[in-house]
Structure 1
Protein backbone atom coordinates (compact mmCIF):
# COMPACT_ATOMS: atom_id res chain seq x y z
CA UNK A 1 0.00 0.00 0.00
CA UNK A 2 1.42 3.41 -0.95
CA UNK A 3 1.89 6.15 1.60
CA UNK A 4 -0.98 8.62 1.96
CA UNK A 5 -0.68 12.16 0.66
CA UNK A 6 -0.08 15.14 2.91
CA UNK A 7 -2.23 17.83 1.28
CA UNK A 8 -1.40 21.32 2.51
CA UNK A 9 -3.82 24.12 1.57
CA UNK A 10 -2.99 27.79 2.18
CA UNK A 11 -4.17 31.13 0.90
CA UNK A 12 -4.66 34.68 2.07
CA UNK A 13 -7.41 35.59 4.52
CA UNK A 14 -10.74 35.91 2.72
CA UNK A 15 -9.89 33.39 -0.01
CA UNK A 16 -12.34 30.84 1.39
CA UNK A 17 -9.88 28.19 2.63
CA UNK A 18 -12.15 27.00 5.44
CA UNK A 19 -15.19 26.67 3.17
CA UNK A 20 -13.22 24.86 0.45
CA UNK A 21 -11.59 22.48 2.96
CA UNK A 22 -14.95 21.71 4.61
CA UNK A 23 -16.52 20.91 1.23
CA UNK A 24 -13.51 18.82 0.18
CA UNK A 25 -13.77 16.79 3.40
CA UNK A 26 -17.53 16.29 2.96
CA UNK A 27 -17.03 15.02 -0.60
CA UNK A 28 -14.00 12.85 0.28
CA UNK A 29 -14.87 10.74 3.35
CA UNK A 30 -11.56 8.84 3.15
CA UNK A 31 -9.63 12.12 3.61
CA UNK A 32 -8.61 12.89 7.22
CA UNK A 33 -8.26 16.41 8.63
CA UNK A 34 -5.12 17.18 10.62
CA UNK A 35 -6.04 18.36 14.12
CA UNK A 36 -3.73 21.00 15.59
CA UNK A 37 -2.45 21.14 19.15
CA UNK A 38 -2.67 24.27 21.28
CA UNK A 39 -1.94 25.49 24.78
CA UNK A 40 -4.93 27.85 24.84
CA UNK A 41 -7.96 26.99 26.94
CA UNK A 42 -10.87 25.21 25.19
CA UNK A 43 -13.77 27.46 24.20
CA UNK A 44 -17.38 26.48 24.93
CA UNK A 45 -18.30 23.39 22.94
CA UNK A 46 -14.75 22.54 21.85
CA UNK A 47 -13.72 18.91 22.36
CA UNK A 48 -10.18 17.65 22.98
CA UNK A 49 -9.07 15.47 20.06
CA UNK A 50 -11.81 16.84 17.77
CA UNK A 51 -11.31 20.61 17.55
CA UNK A 52 -7.76 20.66 18.96
CA UNK A 53 -5.46 18.63 21.13
CA UNK A 54 -5.38 20.81 24.25
CA UNK A 55 -1.95 20.57 25.89
CA UNK A 56 -0.23 22.23 28.81
CA UNK A 57 2.61 24.60 27.99
CA UNK A 58 5.06 22.10 29.53
CA UNK A 59 3.75 19.20 27.41
CA UNK A 60 3.85 21.32 24.26
CA UNK A 61 7.43 22.47 24.92
CA UNK A 62 8.47 18.87 25.62
CA UNK A 63 7.08 17.89 22.19
CA UNK A 64 8.98 20.80 20.59
CA UNK A 65 12.19 19.51 22.18
CA UNK A 66 11.51 16.00 20.86
CA UNK A 67 10.84 17.28 17.31
CA UNK A 68 7.21 16.26 17.65
CA UNK A 69 5.74 19.03 15.48
CA UNK A 70 5.68 19.47 11.73
CA UNK A 71 5.45 23.20 12.48
CA UNK A 72 4.44 25.36 15.40
CA UNK A 73 4.11 29.02 16.37
CA UNK A 74 3.54 31.12 19.45
CA UNK A 75 0.51 33.34 18.81
CA UNK A 76 -0.36 35.94 21.48
CA UNK A 77 1.23 33.84 24.22
CA UNK A 78 -0.30 30.48 23.22
CA UNK A 79 1.37 27.77 21.20
CA UNK A 80 -0.27 26.23 18.13
CA UNK A 81 1.26 23.34 16.22
CA UNK A 82 0.77 20.36 13.93
CA UNK A 83 1.66 17.06 15.67
CA UNK A 84 3.92 15.02 13.39
CA UNK A 85 3.40 11.54 14.89
CA UNK A 86 -0.32 11.26 14.19
CA UNK A 87 0.11 12.47 10.60
CA UNK A 88 2.90 9.97 9.89
CA UNK A 89 0.91 7.07 11.43
CA UNK A 90 -2.06 7.76 9.19
CA UNK A 91 0.03 8.34 6.07
CA UNK A 92 1.92 5.08 6.61
CA UNK A 93 -1.49 3.35 6.77
CA UNK A 94 -2.24 4.83 3.32
CA UNK A 95 -4.58 7.59 4.45
CA UNK A 96 -4.51 11.05 2.86
CA UNK A 97 -4.29 13.93 5.35
CA UNK A 98 -5.51 17.50 4.82
CA UNK A 99 -3.72 20.35 6.54
CA UNK A 100 -5.17 23.89 6.30
CA UNK A 101 -2.39 26.22 7.36
CA UNK A 102 -0.94 29.70 6.84
CA UNK A 103 1.95 30.33 4.45
CA UNK A 104 4.61 30.62 7.16
CA UNK A 105 3.60 27.25 8.61
CA UNK A 106 3.49 25.75 5.12
CA UNK A 107 7.05 26.90 4.36
CA UNK A 108 8.19 25.03 7.49
CA UNK A 109 6.22 21.93 6.44
CA UNK A 110 7.94 22.07 3.01
CA UNK A 111 11.28 21.62 4.80
CA UNK A 112 10.07 18.75 7.02
CA UNK A 113 7.89 16.98 4.41
CA UNK A 114 9.18 17.76 0.92
CA UNK A 115 6.89 14.99 -0.43
CA UNK A 116 3.81 17.02 0.63
CA UNK A 117 1.30 18.24 -1.94
CA UNK A 118 1.19 22.02 -1.51
CA UNK A 119 -1.87 23.79 -2.95
CA UNK A 120 -2.22 27.56 -2.83
CA UNK A 121 -5.76 28.90 -3.00
CA UNK A 122 -6.06 32.19 -4.89
CA UNK A 123 -8.94 34.66 -5.09
CA UNK A 124 -10.07 35.43 -8.66
CA UNK A 125 -8.63 38.97 -8.22
CA UNK A 126 -7.56 41.42 -5.50
CA UNK A 127 -10.76 43.51 -5.91
CA UNK A 128 -12.80 40.31 -5.39
CA UNK A 129 -10.73 39.47 -2.30
CA UNK A 130 -11.44 42.96 -0.94
CA UNK A 131 -15.16 42.50 -1.66
CA UNK A 132 -15.19 39.18 0.23
CA UNK A 133 -13.37 40.60 3.26
CA UNK A 134 -15.66 43.67 3.31
CA UNK A 135 -18.65 41.33 3.10
CA UNK A 136 -17.74 39.86 6.48
CA UNK A 137 -18.36 43.24 8.07
CA UNK A 138 -15.62 42.67 10.65
CA UNK A 139 -12.90 45.01 9.40
CA UNK A 140 -12.13 48.69 9.84
CA UNK A 141 -10.63 50.52 6.83
CA UNK A 142 -7.24 50.33 8.56
CA UNK A 143 -7.42 46.58 9.27
CA UNK A 144 -8.75 45.96 5.75
CA UNK A 145 -5.75 47.77 4.23
CA UNK A 146 -3.44 45.70 6.48
CA UNK A 147 -5.11 42.43 5.42
CA UNK A 148 -4.88 43.30 1.73
CA UNK A 149 -1.19 44.24 2.14
CA UNK A 150 -0.56 40.88 3.84
CA UNK A 151 -2.53 39.11 1.10
CA UNK A 152 -0.22 40.46 -1.62
CA UNK A 153 2.85 39.18 0.28
CA UNK A 154 1.21 35.78 0.83
CA UNK A 155 0.25 35.51 -2.86
CA UNK A 156 3.94 35.98 -3.74
CA UNK A 157 4.77 33.03 -1.45
CA UNK A 158 2.25 31.01 -3.50
CA UNK A 159 4.99 30.67 -6.15
CA UNK A 160 6.68 28.12 -3.84
CA UNK A 161 3.66 25.77 -3.87
CA UNK A 162 3.22 22.70 -6.10
CA UNK A 163 -0.15 23.90 -7.46
CA UNK A 164 -2.26 27.04 -7.52
CA UNK A 165 -6.08 26.80 -7.57
CA UNK A 166 -8.37 29.79 -8.08
CA UNK A 167 -11.40 29.80 -5.78
CA UNK A 168 -13.87 31.38 -8.19
CA UNK A 169 -16.59 29.05 -6.88
CA UNK A 170 -16.24 26.50 -4.08
CA UNK A 171 -17.56 23.74 -6.37
CA UNK A 172 -14.94 24.43 -9.05
CA UNK A 173 -12.09 24.81 -6.53
CA UNK A 174 -12.94 21.48 -4.86
CA UNK A 175 -13.23 19.78 -8.27
CA UNK A 176 -9.72 21.00 -9.18
CA UNK A 177 -8.22 19.91 -5.85
CA UNK A 178 -9.76 16.44 -6.20
CA UNK A 179 -8.32 16.19 -9.73
CA UNK A 180 -4.87 17.12 -8.37
CA UNK A 181 -5.19 14.41 -5.69
CA UNK A 182 -6.10 11.74 -8.28
CA UNK A 183 -3.21 12.78 -10.54
CA UNK A 184 -0.76 12.75 -7.63
CA UNK A 185 -1.85 9.24 -6.58
CA UNK A 186 -1.40 8.02 -10.17
CA UNK A 187 2.09 9.55 -10.28
CA UNK A 188 3.18 8.09 -6.94
CA UNK A 189 1.64 4.65 -7.48
CA UNK A 190 3.04 4.10 -10.98
CA UNK A 191 5.94 1.78 -9.97
CA UNK A 192 3.70 -0.33 -7.77
CA UNK A 193 1.01 -0.59 -10.47
CA UNK A 194 3.52 -1.48 -13.21
CA UNK A 195 5.09 -4.17 -10.98
CA UNK A 196 1.63 -5.63 -10.26
CA UNK A 197 0.80 -5.91 -13.97
CA UNK A 198 4.17 -7.43 -14.83
CA UNK A 199 4.01 -10.10 -12.10
Structure 2
Protein backbone atom coordinates (compact mmCIF):
# COMPACT_ATOMS: atom_id res chain seq x y z
CA UNK A 1 0.00 0.00 0.00
CA UNK A 2 2.81 2.42 0.88
CA UNK A 3 4.47 1.70 -2.45
CA UNK A 4 1.29 2.54 -4.36
CA UNK A 5 0.90 5.82 -2.47
CA UNK A 6 4.50 6.71 -3.22
CA UNK A 7 3.96 6.00 -6.89
CA UNK A 8 0.81 8.09 -6.96
CA UNK A 9 2.52 10.99 -5.21
CA UNK A 10 5.43 10.79 -7.61
CA UNK A 11 3.08 10.78 -10.60
CA UNK A 12 1.19 13.78 -9.21
CA UNK A 13 4.45 15.70 -8.83
CA UNK A 14 5.33 14.97 -12.43
CA UNK A 15 1.96 16.29 -13.56
CA UNK A 16 2.36 19.47 -11.52
CA UNK A 17 5.82 20.03 -12.94
CA UNK A 18 4.50 19.59 -16.47
CA UNK A 19 1.65 22.03 -15.84
CA UNK A 20 4.06 24.59 -14.44
CA UNK A 21 6.26 24.32 -17.52
CA UNK A 22 3.27 24.73 -19.82
CA UNK A 23 2.14 27.82 -17.90
CA UNK A 24 5.55 29.43 -18.29
CA UNK A 25 5.60 28.64 -22.00
CA UNK A 26 2.12 30.07 -22.51
CA UNK A 27 2.99 33.25 -20.62
CA UNK A 28 6.05 33.82 -22.78
CA UNK A 29 4.10 33.42 -26.01
CA UNK A 30 1.50 36.06 -25.11
CA UNK A 31 3.99 38.81 -24.25
CA UNK A 32 3.46 41.51 -26.89
CA UNK A 33 6.12 43.69 -28.49
CA UNK A 34 6.65 47.00 -26.71
CA UNK A 35 6.09 48.93 -29.95
CA UNK A 36 2.48 49.48 -31.04
CA UNK A 37 0.75 51.32 -33.88
CA UNK A 38 -1.50 53.91 -32.22
CA UNK A 39 -2.75 56.02 -35.13
CA UNK A 40 -2.77 55.76 -38.93
CA UNK A 41 -3.66 58.33 -41.55
CA UNK A 42 -3.88 56.57 -44.90
CA UNK A 43 -6.43 58.94 -46.48
CA UNK A 44 -5.68 62.64 -45.76
CA UNK A 45 -8.53 65.02 -46.53
CA UNK A 46 -8.15 66.88 -49.83
CA UNK A 47 -10.29 69.82 -48.66
CA UNK A 48 -8.03 72.89 -48.58
CA UNK A 49 -5.43 72.23 -45.86
CA UNK A 50 -7.60 69.89 -43.80
CA UNK A 51 -5.29 67.06 -44.78
CA UNK A 52 -2.01 68.87 -44.04
CA UNK A 53 -1.02 66.45 -41.29
CA UNK A 54 2.72 67.15 -41.49
CA UNK A 55 1.94 70.88 -41.08
CA UNK A 56 4.24 72.04 -43.87
CA UNK A 57 1.63 74.41 -45.29
CA UNK A 58 0.48 72.29 -48.22
CA UNK A 59 -1.65 69.25 -48.87
CA UNK A 60 -0.14 66.13 -50.39
CA UNK A 61 -1.86 62.75 -50.44
CA UNK A 62 1.47 60.94 -50.27
CA UNK A 63 3.43 63.22 -47.96
CA UNK A 64 0.70 63.75 -45.34
CA UNK A 65 0.07 60.06 -44.74
CA UNK A 66 1.51 58.96 -41.42
CA UNK A 67 1.85 56.12 -38.93
CA UNK A 68 2.17 56.90 -35.22
CA UNK A 69 4.00 54.45 -32.99
CA UNK A 70 4.17 54.39 -29.19
CA UNK A 71 6.73 52.81 -26.89
CA UNK A 72 4.48 51.16 -24.31
CA UNK A 73 7.28 50.41 -21.84
CA UNK A 74 9.11 52.32 -19.11
CA UNK A 75 12.42 51.86 -20.91
CA UNK A 76 13.90 53.52 -23.99
CA UNK A 77 13.26 51.53 -27.15
CA UNK A 78 15.77 51.37 -30.00
CA UNK A 79 13.94 50.75 -33.29
CA UNK A 80 16.98 51.27 -35.51
CA UNK A 81 16.76 48.89 -38.46
CA UNK A 82 13.03 48.26 -38.07
CA UNK A 83 11.14 48.26 -41.38
CA UNK A 84 7.64 49.23 -42.51
CA UNK A 85 6.00 47.37 -45.40
CA UNK A 86 2.75 47.89 -47.22
CA UNK A 87 1.12 44.76 -48.64
CA UNK A 88 2.91 44.92 -51.98
CA UNK A 89 6.24 45.74 -50.38
CA UNK A 90 5.97 42.78 -48.01
CA UNK A 91 5.38 40.44 -50.95
CA UNK A 92 8.38 41.85 -52.79
CA UNK A 93 10.49 42.38 -49.64
CA UNK A 94 10.77 46.10 -50.37
CA UNK A 95 10.07 48.28 -47.30
CA UNK A 96 8.51 51.73 -47.61
CA UNK A 97 10.55 52.90 -44.62
CA UNK A 98 13.65 51.75 -42.77
CA UNK A 99 14.21 53.31 -39.35
CA UNK A 100 17.69 54.86 -39.41
CA UNK A 101 20.41 54.27 -36.84
CA UNK A 102 19.70 56.22 -33.67
CA UNK A 103 15.91 55.82 -33.80
CA UNK A 104 15.25 55.88 -30.07
CA UNK A 105 11.77 56.23 -28.56
CA UNK A 106 11.65 57.42 -24.97
CA UNK A 107 9.46 55.56 -22.42
CA UNK A 108 5.72 56.00 -23.07
CA UNK A 109 6.47 58.40 -25.94
CA UNK A 110 5.67 58.43 -29.63
CA UNK A 111 7.41 58.29 -32.98
CA UNK A 112 5.68 59.43 -36.17
CA UNK A 113 6.62 58.48 -39.71
CA UNK A 114 5.20 60.79 -42.39
CA UNK A 115 5.14 59.93 -46.06
CA UNK A 116 7.32 62.93 -46.85
CA UNK A 117 7.51 66.69 -46.94
CA UNK A 118 9.12 68.83 -44.26
CA UNK A 119 7.15 68.21 -41.05
CA UNK A 120 6.84 71.46 -39.10
CA UNK A 121 6.02 71.82 -35.43
CA UNK A 122 6.69 69.86 -32.27
CA UNK A 123 4.10 67.06 -32.68
CA UNK A 124 3.91 66.64 -28.93
CA UNK A 125 7.65 66.15 -28.63
CA UNK A 126 7.52 62.90 -30.61
CA UNK A 127 10.37 61.63 -32.72
CA UNK A 128 9.47 62.59 -36.31
CA UNK A 129 10.74 60.91 -39.45
CA UNK A 130 9.79 60.91 -43.12
CA UNK A 131 9.65 57.76 -45.19
CA UNK A 132 13.03 56.72 -46.57
CA UNK A 133 11.32 56.05 -49.91
CA UNK A 134 9.39 59.33 -49.94
CA UNK A 135 6.03 57.55 -49.89
CA UNK A 136 4.33 55.20 -47.42
CA UNK A 137 2.20 53.93 -50.35
CA UNK A 138 -0.90 53.29 -48.24
CA UNK A 139 -3.95 52.39 -50.32
CA UNK A 140 -7.35 53.75 -49.31
CA UNK A 141 -9.18 50.52 -50.06
CA UNK A 142 -7.32 47.34 -49.15
CA UNK A 143 -3.81 47.37 -47.72
CA UNK A 144 -1.91 45.84 -44.84
CA UNK A 145 0.88 47.46 -42.82
CA UNK A 146 3.57 45.19 -41.42
CA UNK A 147 6.40 46.32 -39.16
CA UNK A 148 9.42 44.10 -38.61
CA UNK A 149 12.30 44.48 -36.19
CA UNK A 150 15.99 44.50 -37.12
CA UNK A 151 16.00 40.69 -37.10
CA UNK A 152 13.04 40.48 -39.46
CA UNK A 153 10.41 39.39 -36.93
CA UNK A 154 6.95 40.95 -37.22
CA UNK A 155 6.27 43.28 -34.28
CA UNK A 156 3.16 45.21 -35.36
CA UNK A 157 0.46 45.13 -38.05
CA UNK A 158 -2.47 47.24 -39.18
CA UNK A 159 -5.20 46.02 -41.55
CA UNK A 160 -6.69 48.86 -43.59
CA UNK A 161 -9.24 46.53 -45.21
CA UNK A 162 -11.94 46.52 -42.47
CA UNK A 163 -11.60 50.32 -42.13
CA UNK A 164 -11.65 51.14 -45.85
CA UNK A 165 -14.31 53.80 -46.32
CA UNK A 166 -12.21 56.78 -47.51
CA UNK A 167 -12.69 58.65 -44.23
CA UNK A 168 -10.48 61.67 -45.06
CA UNK A 169 -9.11 61.42 -41.52
CA UNK A 170 -7.00 59.21 -39.27
CA UNK A 171 -7.96 56.08 -37.39
CA UNK A 172 -6.77 56.18 -33.78
CA UNK A 173 -6.94 53.88 -30.79
CA UNK A 174 -9.52 54.79 -28.17
CA UNK A 175 -8.36 54.83 -25.50
CA UNK A 176 -4.84 55.46 -26.70
CA UNK A 177 -2.46 52.47 -26.71
CA UNK A 178 -4.96 49.87 -25.47
CA UNK A 179 -8.21 50.55 -27.36
CA UNK A 180 -9.59 49.59 -30.74
CA UNK A 181 -9.37 51.86 -33.78
CA UNK A 182 -12.03 54.52 -34.39
CA UNK A 183 -12.30 57.46 -36.76
CA UNK A 184 -10.54 60.41 -35.17
CA UNK A 185 -13.38 62.92 -35.54
CA UNK A 186 -15.68 60.67 -33.52
CA UNK A 187 -13.68 61.78 -30.47
CA UNK A 188 -13.78 65.51 -31.23
CA UNK A 189 -13.28 67.98 -34.05
CA UNK A 190 -9.72 67.09 -35.08
CA UNK A 191 -9.03 64.80 -38.01
CA UNK A 192 -5.67 63.56 -36.71
CA UNK A 193 -3.16 64.05 -33.87
CA UNK A 194 0.29 62.84 -34.96
CA UNK A 195 2.60 62.50 -31.97
CA UNK A 196 -0.14 63.30 -29.48
CA UNK A 197 -2.92 61.46 -27.72
CA UNK A 198 -6.29 61.51 -29.47
CA UNK A 199 -7.46 64.34 -27.17
CA UNK A 200 -4.55 66.53 -28.26
CA UNK A 201 -2.46 66.20 -25.11
CA UNK A 202 1.14 64.97 -25.13
CA UNK A 203 2.12 61.39 -24.40
Normalising by structure 2, what TM-score?
0.29
Which has the bigger relative contact order, CA under 8 A and spacing at least 6? 1
Which of these two proteins has the greater Rg computed from alpha carbons?
A: 2
* TM-score normalised according to structure 1 size: 0.29
More helix by share: 1
Q: Which structure shows the higher strand fraction?
A: 2
